[in-house]
């Protein structure tokens, strides 16, 4: 009885409001019901893209694709709870710092936030590991009409080490939202290696099909 009285505001709110996805079931896992949770397009595996091993929570399929789009482009920030919950299902490596995938200032102004930073902040809170942002991203130009090699070069040139950073970490975890080719993760990893990182792990919410 006393335990129930001590329920937090969020728990109380959850108790009286239905699942964030189906609007019917009772909230059970990170704001969604048991049935919706079970039906997510789970992957929970490490996959290889562009010579990188990346831990991935889900396939980029319904309803995760839509949820991520709403989170990124429609400011539906309440989805952060579910999305961070997905990352917490992965077997996370022990690291010294979390590095969110950087976005360019243009994108930041356009969107108002870096979605990977929001996810990283939630992980940081849960795991008690600091966030480290030692790499800046320059303007993200359109990749249309470029060959595969040109696209890779274009991406590699976007990531620049922030020379004002004094702190260095050796084992880090990159957090990204969706991966397709994995080229941004490899470009970011290269710069992190230049900064002295020896072990670099990556994880992301969802993997889209690799377009050749």
Chain contacts with Zn ion (rule: CB under 5 A) = 19, 21-22, 25, 33, 36
Indicate the residue among 35 and 133 with the shorter CB distance to Zn ion: 35
Q: Provide the minimum distance between the beta carbon of 65 and Zn ion in the complex, in angstroms, as a whole number.
A: 17
202 in Cβ contact with 174 (< 8 Å) = yes
Max Cα distance, the chain (Å): 65
Q: What is the dihedral of CA 107, 111, 117, 121, to 10 degrees?
A: 170
Indicate the residue among 33 and 192 with the shorter CB distance to Zn ion: 33
Indicate the residue among 25 and 93 with the shorter CB distance to Zn ion: 25
Report how far residue 194's alpha carbon sits from residue 171's, in angstroms, rounded to the nearest whole number: 13
Indicate the residue among 84 and 158 with the shorter CB distance to Zn ion: 84
Tell me the two tokens of residue 143: 């990749």
Indicate the residue among 33 and 99 with the shorter CB distance to Zn ion: 33
Q: Provide the minimum distance between the beta carbon of 157 and Zn ion in the complex, in angstroms, as a whole number.
A: 44
Indicate the residue among 21 and 98 with the shorter CB distance to Zn ion: 21
DSSP string, 99-153: EEPP--HHHHHHHSS-HHHHHHHHHHHHHT--B---EEE------TT--HHHHHH
From 66, 82, 87, 77, select the one nearest 29 (Cα to Cα).
Answer: 82
Q: What are phi and psi of 143, to 5 degrees?
A: -95, 0
Collapsed DSSP state (helix, strand, coil) of residue 85 = helix
């Amino acid at each position: 009885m006393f335990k129930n009285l001590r329920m937090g505001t969020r728990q109380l709110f959850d108790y009286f409001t239905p699942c964030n996805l189906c609007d019917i079931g009772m909230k059970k896992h990170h704001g969604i019901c048991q049935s919706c949770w079970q039906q997510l397009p789970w992957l929970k595996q490490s996959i290889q893209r562009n010579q990188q091993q990346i831990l991935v929570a889900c396939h980029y399929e319904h309803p995760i694709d839509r949820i991520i789009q709403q989170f990124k482009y429609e400011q539906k920030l309440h989805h952060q709870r579910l999305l961070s919950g997905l990352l917490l299902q992965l077997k996370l490596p022990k690291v010294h710092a979390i590095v969110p995938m950087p976005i360019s200032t243009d994108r930041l102004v356009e969107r108002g936030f870096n979605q990977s930073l929001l996810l990283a902040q939630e992980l940081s809170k849960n795991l008690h590991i600091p966030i480290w942002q030692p790499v800046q991203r320059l303007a993200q130009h359109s990749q249309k009409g470029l060959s595969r090699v040109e696209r890779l070069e274009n991406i590699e040139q976007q990531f620049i080490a922030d020379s004002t950073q004094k702190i260095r970490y050796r084992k880090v975890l990159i957090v990204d939202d969706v991966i397709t080719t994995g080229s941004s993760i490899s470009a970011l990893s290269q710069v992190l290696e230049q900064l002295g990182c020896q072990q670099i792990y990556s994880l992301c919410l969802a993997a889209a099909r690799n377009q050749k």
